[in-house]
Amino acid sequence: MSVTWGPTRHPRRAFPPYPGPVHLCFVCTGNICRSPSAALVLAEHLRRAGLDGAVEVSSAGIEPWHAGEPIDERSGEVLARHGYPVEHVAAQLGAEHLDADLFLAMDRGHEKALRRLVADPSRVRMLRSFAPDASGGLDVPDPYYGGPEGFEEVLSLIEATVPGLLAHVRERLDAETGAADGTDTGTGRGPGARPGGA
Protein backbone atom coordinates (compact mmCIF):
# COMPACT_ATOMS: atom_id res chain seq x y z
CA MET A 1 0.00 0.00 0.00
CA SER A 2 1.38 3.39 -0.92
CA VAL A 3 -0.27 6.76 -0.41
CA THR A 4 1.51 9.76 -1.94
CA TRP A 5 0.45 13.38 -2.02
CA GLY A 6 1.99 16.54 -3.38
CA PRO A 7 4.73 17.28 -5.88
CA THR A 8 7.59 15.07 -6.97
CA ARG A 9 9.88 14.27 -4.07
CA HIS A 10 12.57 16.86 -3.50
CA PRO A 11 16.29 16.15 -3.99
CA ARG A 12 17.79 14.58 -0.90
CA ARG A 13 19.77 16.79 1.46
CA ALA A 14 22.36 15.60 3.93
CA PHE A 15 20.34 16.51 7.00
CA PRO A 16 20.13 14.22 10.02
CA PRO A 17 18.61 12.03 11.24
CA TYR A 18 16.87 10.94 8.03
CA PRO A 19 18.12 12.77 4.91
CA GLY A 20 15.60 14.04 2.40
CA PRO A 21 11.82 14.34 2.40
CA VAL A 22 9.67 12.46 4.86
CA HIS A 23 8.71 8.98 3.66
CA LEU A 24 7.30 6.76 6.39
CA CYS A 25 6.90 3.03 5.73
CA PHE A 26 4.86 0.87 8.10
CA VAL A 27 5.78 -2.82 8.13
CA CYS A 28 4.09 -5.96 9.46
CA THR A 29 3.96 -9.61 8.37
CA GLY A 30 1.48 -9.80 5.50
CA ASN A 31 0.40 -6.16 5.00
CA ILE A 32 -3.33 -6.77 5.41
CA CYS A 33 -4.02 -5.86 9.07
CA ARG A 34 -1.58 -3.88 11.17
CA SER A 35 0.69 -1.95 8.80
CA PRO A 36 -2.03 -0.82 6.36
CA SER A 37 -4.19 0.26 9.29
CA ALA A 38 -1.33 2.35 10.66
CA ALA A 39 -0.59 3.87 7.25
CA LEU A 40 -4.24 4.74 6.59
CA VAL A 41 -4.69 6.24 10.06
CA LEU A 42 -1.57 8.40 9.82
CA ALA A 43 -2.40 9.48 6.26
CA GLU A 44 -5.82 10.66 7.40
CA HIS A 45 -4.38 12.59 10.35
CA LEU A 46 -1.78 14.19 8.08
CA ARG A 47 -4.62 15.31 5.81
CA ARG A 48 -6.56 16.75 8.73
CA ALA A 49 -3.42 18.58 9.93
CA GLY A 50 -2.73 20.04 6.49
CA LEU A 51 0.55 18.13 6.19
CA ASP A 52 -0.51 15.73 3.45
CA GLY A 53 1.12 17.68 0.63
CA ALA A 54 4.66 17.03 1.84
CA VAL A 55 4.61 13.47 3.14
CA GLU A 56 4.69 10.02 1.57
CA VAL A 57 3.14 7.17 3.55
CA SER A 58 3.53 3.55 2.52
CA SER A 59 3.15 0.10 4.05
CA ALA A 60 4.45 -3.37 3.26
CA GLY A 61 4.71 -6.91 4.55
CA ILE A 62 7.84 -8.91 5.26
CA GLU A 63 6.18 -11.95 3.66
CA PRO A 64 4.54 -12.22 0.19
CA TRP A 65 1.54 -14.25 1.36
CA HIS A 66 -1.17 -11.62 0.75
CA ALA A 67 0.38 -9.48 -2.00
CA GLY A 68 -2.32 -7.99 -4.19
CA GLU A 69 -5.11 -8.49 -1.65
CA PRO A 70 -7.21 -5.73 -0.05
CA ILE A 71 -7.05 -4.93 3.63
CA ASP A 72 -8.44 -7.65 5.91
CA GLU A 73 -12.21 -7.20 6.07
CA ARG A 74 -12.18 -7.01 9.86
CA SER A 75 -9.52 -4.28 9.87
CA GLY A 76 -11.47 -2.43 7.22
CA GLU A 77 -14.68 -2.57 9.25
CA VAL A 78 -12.97 -1.11 12.31
CA LEU A 79 -11.29 1.65 10.30
CA ALA A 80 -14.51 2.60 8.52
CA ARG A 81 -16.43 2.66 11.78
CA HIS A 82 -13.94 5.19 13.15
CA GLY A 83 -13.99 7.39 10.05
CA TYR A 84 -10.83 6.24 8.27
CA PRO A 85 -10.43 5.26 4.61
CA VAL A 86 -9.91 1.59 3.80
CA GLU A 87 -8.53 1.51 0.25
CA HIS A 88 -5.43 -0.68 0.17
CA VAL A 89 -3.57 -3.24 -1.94
CA ALA A 90 -1.14 -5.42 0.00
CA ALA A 91 2.51 -5.53 -1.05
CA GLN A 92 5.67 -7.27 0.04
CA LEU A 93 8.54 -5.02 1.11
CA GLY A 94 10.47 -4.17 -2.05
CA ALA A 95 12.67 -1.63 -3.80
CA GLU A 96 9.92 1.00 -3.83
CA HIS A 97 9.88 0.98 -0.03
CA LEU A 98 13.58 0.77 0.75
CA ASP A 99 14.28 4.48 0.29
CA ALA A 100 11.97 5.31 3.20
CA ASP A 101 13.29 7.76 5.76
CA LEU A 102 11.75 5.85 8.62
CA PHE A 103 10.54 2.25 8.86
CA LEU A 104 7.94 1.65 11.56
CA ALA A 105 7.82 -1.95 12.76
CA MET A 106 4.69 -3.39 14.31
CA ASP A 107 6.54 -5.90 16.52
CA ARG A 108 10.04 -7.00 17.47
CA GLY A 109 10.12 -9.67 14.77
CA HIS A 110 9.49 -7.08 12.08
CA GLU A 111 12.07 -4.77 13.62
CA LYS A 112 14.69 -7.54 13.54
CA ALA A 113 13.88 -8.40 9.91
CA LEU A 114 14.02 -4.75 8.85
CA ARG A 115 17.40 -4.21 10.48
CA ARG A 116 18.74 -7.01 8.29
CA LEU A 117 17.07 -5.73 5.12
CA VAL A 118 17.59 -1.96 5.09
CA ALA A 119 20.88 -0.24 4.37
CA ASP A 120 20.72 1.98 7.46
CA PRO A 121 19.29 0.19 10.53
CA SER A 122 19.04 3.52 12.38
CA ARG A 123 16.02 4.24 10.19
CA VAL A 124 14.10 1.41 11.85
CA ARG A 125 11.92 2.09 14.89
CA MET A 126 9.08 0.38 16.67
CA LEU A 127 5.82 2.18 15.93
CA ARG A 128 4.86 2.16 19.60
CA SER A 129 8.06 4.00 20.52
CA PHE A 130 6.10 7.12 19.47
CA ALA A 131 3.35 6.46 22.03
CA PRO A 132 3.54 8.58 25.21
CA ASP A 133 2.98 5.53 27.42
CA ALA A 134 4.08 2.20 26.01
CA SER A 135 4.51 0.58 29.41
CA GLY A 136 2.57 -2.46 28.22
CA GLY A 137 5.27 -3.22 25.66
CA LEU A 138 6.16 -1.97 22.20
CA ASP A 139 4.53 -4.70 20.12
CA VAL A 140 1.27 -4.16 18.26
CA PRO A 141 -0.22 -7.67 18.58
CA ASP A 142 -1.32 -9.54 15.47
CA PRO A 143 -5.15 -9.68 15.48
CA TYR A 144 -5.44 -12.06 12.52
CA TYR A 145 -6.35 -15.23 14.44
CA GLY A 146 -8.42 -13.53 17.14
CA GLY A 147 -11.79 -11.90 17.57
CA PRO A 148 -13.12 -8.39 16.87
CA GLU A 149 -11.68 -6.96 20.06
CA GLY A 150 -8.16 -7.57 18.75
CA PHE A 151 -8.77 -5.31 15.76
CA GLU A 152 -10.15 -2.58 18.00
CA GLU A 153 -7.06 -2.88 20.19
CA VAL A 154 -4.79 -2.52 17.16
CA LEU A 155 -6.52 0.70 16.14
CA SER A 156 -6.33 2.05 19.69
CA LEU A 157 -2.60 1.33 19.88
CA ILE A 158 -2.02 2.94 16.49
CA GLU A 159 -4.01 6.07 17.35
CA ALA A 160 -1.94 6.52 20.52
CA THR A 161 1.17 7.00 18.35
CA VAL A 162 -0.35 9.68 16.09
CA PRO A 163 0.60 12.78 18.15
CA GLY A 164 4.21 11.63 18.39
CA LEU A 165 4.39 10.80 14.69
CA LEU A 166 2.87 14.15 13.73
CA ALA A 167 5.40 15.93 15.94
CA HIS A 168 8.20 13.98 14.25
CA VAL A 169 6.91 14.93 10.81
CA ARG A 170 6.57 18.61 11.73
CA GLU A 171 10.11 18.63 13.13
CA ARG A 172 11.45 17.10 9.93
CA LEU A 173 9.56 19.52 7.70
CA ASP A 174 10.70 22.50 9.79
CA ALA A 175 14.28 21.25 9.59
CA GLU A 176 14.06 20.83 5.83
CA THR A 177 12.62 24.33 5.42
CA GLY A 178 15.34 25.81 7.61
CA ALA A 179 18.08 23.98 5.71
CA ALA A 180 16.65 25.19 2.39
CA ASP A 181 16.40 28.89 3.30
CA GLY A 182 19.48 29.11 5.52
CA THR A 183 17.60 30.03 8.69
CA ASP A 184 18.42 28.67 12.11
CA THR A 185 16.76 25.37 12.94
CA GLY A 186 18.70 24.82 16.13
CA THR A 187 21.22 22.61 14.34
CA GLY A 188 24.16 25.00 14.14
CA ARG A 189 23.51 25.62 10.43
CA GLY A 190 22.62 28.81 8.60
CA PRO A 191 23.37 32.50 9.20
CA GLY A 192 21.18 32.63 12.31
CA ALA A 193 22.64 29.53 13.91
CA ARG A 194 23.29 29.62 17.63
CA PRO A 195 26.90 29.10 18.73
CA GLY A 196 28.12 26.32 20.96
CA GLY A 197 27.63 22.98 22.13
CA ALA A 198 27.96 19.35 21.32
pLDDT of residue 176: 79
80 CB contacts (<8 Å, ≥6 apart)? 86
In Å, how far are 25, 39, 45, 136, 148 from 165, measured between CA atoms? 12, 11, 10, 19, 26
Give the catalytic positions in this structure: 28, 34, 142
Reported confidence tier of residue 183, pLDDT bands at 50, 70, 90? low
List, for residues 121-178, the tens digit of each pLDDT value: 999 999 999 999 887 799 999 999 999 999 999 999 999 999 999 999 999 898 877 7
Cβ 105 vs Cβ 142: under 8 Å: no
Spell out the domains of the chain, with CATH numbers in brackets.
2-6+17-166 (3.40.50.2300)
Cβ 62 vs Cβ 88: under 8 Å: no
Burial label for 5, CB within 10 Å (0-12, 13-18, 19+), is: middle
Distance CA 124, CA 127 (A): 9
Cβ 144 vs Cβ 35: under 8 Å: no
- Tell me if the pTM is above 0.85: no
